[in-house]
Amino acid sequence: MVIDTKRWVRFCSKFELDPSSGCWNWTAGTWRKGYGCFFVEYEDGRRGMVQAHRVAYTMLVGPIPEGLVIDHLCRNVKCMNPRHLEAVTSRENSLRGNNVKTHCVRGHEFTPDNTYVWRNGGPRPARRCIICTRDLARRRRQAGLVATG
Check pLDDT > 70 for residue 98: no
Domain ranges of the chain: 1-100, 101-149
Q: How many CB atoms lie within 10 A of CB 78?
A: 23
DSSP 18-46: -TTT--EEE-S-B-TTS-BEEEEE-TTS-
Using one digit for the tens of pLDDT, what is the confidence trace for 76-89?
Answer: 999 999 999 999 98
Q: For 1-100, which CATH class?
A: alpha beta
Cα–Cα distance for residue pair 65/83, rounded to 1 Å: 17
pTM for the complete prediction? 0.63
pLDDT value for 148: 56
Using one digit for the tens of pLDDT, what is the confidence trace for 19-65?
Answer: 999 999 999 999 878 899 999 888 888 889 999 999 999 999 999 99
Rounded to the nearest angstrom, the gap between the alpha carbon of residue 18 and the centroid of all alpha carbons in its chain is 15
Phi then psi for residue 59, to 5 deg, are -75, -35
Helix (H/G/I), strand (E/B), else coil: 14: coil
